[in-house]
Amino acid sequence: MIANGNRILQVGLILFAWSLGDSSPVAAQGRSAKTPADAVKPGKGTNGDSLPVDFRNDVMPILTRQGCNVGACHGAARGRGGFRLSLYGGNPLADHEAIVRHLKGRRVHFADPENSLLLRKATESIQHGGGEVLSWDNPLTETLVDWIAQGAQLGQSDLPTRIELQPSRAELKSTSDRLSIQVFAKGPNGQSRDVTELTVLTAEDSSAVEIQREPVTITVNRPGRHVVIARYLNHVVPLQISLPFGDNAAAVNSSAAQRKQQHLVDRYIDRSLHSLGLPASGQVNDQIWLRRLCLDLTGRLPEFTELDQDQYDLSQADDRQRVIDELLQSPQFVQFWTFKFSQWLRVRPQLSDAQAVRQYRDWIADQIRGGVSYQQMARELILASGNSQQIGPANFYRTAQSPRLQAEFFSEFFMASRMRCANCHNHPLDRWTQDDYHGLAAIFAKIPTRPVVEVNPFGQVIHPRTLQPAVQRLPGERFLEQTEDVLKGDRGRQALASWLVDSQNPYFAKAFVNRLWNHMMGRGLVHPVDDFRDTNPPTHPELLSVMAGDFTDNGYDLRHTLRLIATSQAYARSSDVLPGNQHDNKFYSHALPRPLIAEVMADAISDVTGVAERYAEMPIGTRATELVVTNVRTRTLEVLGQCDRSDSCETGSLPVDALAQNLHLLNGPLLNQKLDAPQGRLHRLLAAGHRADDVIDQFYIAAYNREPNADEQQFWQQQLRAVGQDRQLQREVLNDCVWSLLNSFEFKHH
């Protein structure tokens, strides 16, 4: 809105205004940004009086703000130039010792504070590898001088329990708007302290968000929902800033009354599209929907019987529901989701123990076939023991080669949290501490990596900070009591399993639902799927919470949640973009084209050509998704990007459009040998006397689940007319047709 020649932006309850002449912030008429009544500035009391400078609350934030303790500087594992600080100030006591005591106290000069080595280096009064990080006229330099003059004390002020941003989230109207924010540290006694000047602000996407320090203002130059991360001491809080894509909200169903009747998924997706001004692309036709569904639920292209219009009318919701339910109950579903879980659980041979791997795979298949809840599967995996060649879930403890690696695997799969960053230091962007990391590893230290899984009462890991055995800990929650059962028995695992699968666990259900969503929609609500943290918020937090609750309420049922996603309009959207949503890649205004993973691609090529791929000593006809072990490797799977399961397969596969794969498909033996094979579909159709145009139709249906459109029909008819009745030349045209289908974007994506 415009008032008295000024532009006024309202963000929540706070007004900011700009002169239209110079776009610099000015005071909004009659209103100003509210500062908490009890807020005080750093180094000042409630009456504005000077207070002693506190090392932890005043000095440490300066070191972080100026980049002194980042990994590329003195926060590196070995420090820089003989001076080592803890990463992002994670260990204030050690940092105080390094500054005040190390180097025989030469870094601080109590008699002449301005001559302190700490300041002379920072201001580059003497040579400093990091250049000038502070100027002498900077108020932060004055704070450091005062601290040294006061005796460089550690201080006794209370540390804040949290920080708050004002505003906590913002919605801008245009790229010309500038947002001002304030950061307040909240102490244990309720006091609020303005720490805006000491807070590090980092844009998640620096190409979309610009941050100006003095004064603190934020500019967004690209539509979407963006995140700015605020860090003060060990507190990290995200600020979400939205900028609509345009005035296209009318194209999206936004009526509250209609939303109540909407599908659970669409209710939240469409609400977000409306708020961002994103139009929704239309629905795909029945053929594309069926192809997408079959590939997602069974890892296979549709079979001809599934196209029988007398059996299904896919324009009807009830018939689509029938198709979904039949696929969910099919043997192909069990086989494919056994493969998916094998990827997620990183099932692969350990020390060439193929028998144990088969037992593991068979156990997974039995769970999926029998509809065993994900909650029960997780509990059995965590509590498994015995001979891994006889007890499938016992192989969970043969996945990683050390307790620490097992803790990382556990946290990434079951909790979708990258706790590995807390091995050497507290996680710089999340809540995880070294105590969390090594405390979880201490639980797994009781279970050595051996063919027979059993408790080792003496198993332990050493905490690198204390150099003592780490105390078992439920991540982010509590240390376990050091009773005899915990120290030498299996109570640690039992406590971990009970905590993880509890319905109130904040990670378990959300992490798995997000994996399913990522599989079906091409992008997680939290992305990447194993990186849940406050500073990487979900695109649709309400939807994730509601779906996780629905998953829990319905018995942690895999099929139920897949059905929920598959029946939504969001799932059935076309990948064709509209004016206004062409730049959206995470709000589901249109479908995201998803590349076929290596095994599914290999099977699809075999299905279309009618020629099975040969995998080592496996029987002819074995599908790539049926392979028990990943060391059965072929050149085909290798160039298609097969994941070896040594790490997460969500990020462990090669890109489907990698150069090696394209060259292999264009010129390699994979397609050429199958097209020339006498047992292939092309040879069989021609031998049976099918006309050339009928052969083309059948290959289009096999590859795309549709007949050629008018332009495609015209093109291939022209190619056939050009060669006349010459059967050999006709065959070459048909070869070219099949080759082009299998190399097309439409075939390689769904």
What's the confidence (pLDDT) of residue 22? 37
Average pLDDT in the chain = 86
- Structure tokens given for 428: 């710089």
- The span from the CA of 168 to the CA of 237, in Å, is 9
Question: Of the residues 117, 149, 181, which one is the last residue of a structural domain?
Answer: 149
Determine contact, residues 416/529, Cβ cutoff 8 Å.
yes
What band does 659 get if pLDDT is binned at 50, 70 and 90? confident
Count the residues in the chain.
750
What's the CA angle centered on 183, arms 179 and 186, to 5 degrees? 155
- The span from the CA of 75 to the CA of 85, in Å, is 5
521-550 exposure pattern, b = at least 16 Cβ within 10 A, e = fewer: bbbbbbbbbbbbbebbbbbbeebbbbbbeb
Q: What is the mean pLDDT of residues 613-618?
A: 83
Q: Which strands sit side by side in the sheet containing 224-232, from one edge to the other? A: 169-171, 235-243, 224-232, 200-203
Question: Of the residues 208, 243, 278, which one is the last residue of a structural domain?
Answer: 243
Is the pLDDT confidence value at 186 over 90? yes
DSSP state of 72: T
Between the alpha carbon of residue 328 and those of residues 332, 469, 522, 657, the distances in Å are 9, 48, 20, 30
Q: Which amino acid is at 334?
A: V
Provide the 3-class DSSP secondary structure of residue 725. coil
Closest CA to 352 of 623, 642, 632, 634: 632
Q: What is the mean pLDDT of residues 475-489?
A: 83
Structural domain contains residue 727: yes
For residues 101 and 220, state if they share a domain.
Answer: no
For residues 482 and 604, state if they share a domain.
Answer: no
Structural domain contains residue 281: no
Q: Kindly report the CATH number assigned to the domain that includes residue 8.
A: 2.60.40
Is the pLDDT confidence value at 504 over 80? yes
Closest CA to 481 of 492, 489, 470: 492
Structural domain contains residue 506: no
Q: Which amino acid is at 186?
A: K
Closest CA to 34 of 189, 192, 162: 192
Determine contact, residues 321/567, Cβ cutoff 8 Å.
yes
Structural domain contains residue 433: yes
For residues 131 and 196, state if they share a domain.
Answer: no
pLDDT tens profile 42-86: 555 444 556 789 999 999 999 999 999 988 899 888 889 899 999
For residues 232 and 121, state if they share a domain.
Answer: no
- Structure tokens given for 540: 């649709």
Determine contact, residues 208/221, Cβ cutoff 8 Å.
yes
pLDDT tens profile 550-585: 999 999 999 999 999 999 999 999 999 999 999 899
- The span from the CA of 656 to the CA of 71, in Å, is 33
- The span from the CA of 196 to the CA of 65, in Å, is 11
Is the pLDDT confidence value at 427 over 70? yes
Beta strands 6-11 and 14-19: pairing type? Answer: antiparallel
Q: What is the mean pLDDT of residues 668-672?
A: 81
For residues 92 and 183, state if they share a domain.
Answer: no
What band does 270 get if pLDDT is binned at 50, 70 and 90? very high
What band does 443 get if pLDDT is binned at 50, 70 and 90? very high
Beta partners for 239? 228
For residues 358 and 494, state if they share a domain.
Answer: yes
What's the confidence (pLDDT) of residue 38? 52
Structural domain contains residue 400: yes
- Structure tokens given for 463: 């905490």
pLDDT tens profile 452-478: 999 999 999 999 989 999 999 999 899
Tokens 């020339």 locate to: 676
Q: What is the mean pLDDT of residues 413-420?
A: 93
Q: If you average pLDDT over each of 32-41, 178-187, 424-433, which comes out highest?
A: 178-187
Sort 696 into a burial class: Cβ within 10 Å, 0-12 / 13-18 / 19+.
Answer: buried
- The span from the CA of 364 to the CA of 180, in Å, is 53
Question: Domain range holding 666?
Answer: 598-748
Closest CA to 423 of 479, 470, 363: 470
For residues 139 and 172, state if they share a domain.
Answer: no
Q: Which amino acid is at 580?
A: G
Residue by residue, DSSP assigns 634-646 as -HHHHHHT---SS
For residues 12 and 105, state if they share a domain.
Answer: no
Which of the two residues, 216 and 382, has the higher pLDDT score? 382
39-77 exposure pattern, b = at least 16 Cβ within 10 A, e = fewer: bbebbeeeeeeebebbbbbbbbbbbbbbebbbeebbbee
Structural domain contains residue 557: no
What's the confidence (pLDDT) of residue 639? 81
Domain total in the chain:
4
For residues 657 and 692, state if they share a domain.
Answer: yes
Phi, psi of 469 (to 5 degrees): -55, 130
What's the confidence (pLDDT) of residue 308? 59
The share of the chain scoring above pLDDT 90, in percent, equals 64
Provide the 3-class DSSP secondary structure of residue 746. helix
- The span from the CA of 729 to the CA of 716, in Å, is 13
Question: Of the residues 98, 114, 149, which one is the last residue of a structural domain?
Answer: 149
Between the alpha carbon of residue 722 and those of residues 271, 349, 737, the distances in Å are 54, 54, 14
For residues 497 and 635, state if they share a domain.
Answer: no
Beta strands 386-387 and 6-11: pairing type? Answer: unpaired
Structural domain contains residue 317: no
What's the confidence (pLDDT) of residue 261? 62
Q: Is the peptide bond before 215 cis (omega within 30 degrees of 0)?
A: yes
Lowest mean pLDDT among 202-211, 303-312, 327-336: 303-312
Structural domain contains residue 203: yes
pLDDT tens profile 223-232: 999 999 999 9
Determine contact, residues 216/144, Cβ cutoff 8 Å.
no
For residues 719 and 617, state if they share a domain.
Answer: yes
Provide the 3-class DSSP secondary structure of residue 397. helix
What's the confidence (pLDDT) of residue 39? 53
For residues 224 and 355, state if they share a domain.
Answer: no
Which of the two residues, 157 and 385, has the higher pLDDT score? 385
Tokens 């409630």 locate to: 46
First to last CA, the chain: 45
- The span from the CA of 200 to the CA of 133, in Å, is 14
What's the confidence (pLDDT) of residue 640? 84
- The span from the CA of 36 to the CA of 57, in Å, is 19
Q: Is the peptide bond before 528 cis (omega within 30 degrees of 0)?
A: yes
In SS3 terms, 486-537 reads as: HHHCCHHHHHHHHHHHCCCCCCHHHHHHHHHHHHHHCCCCCCCCCCCCCCCC
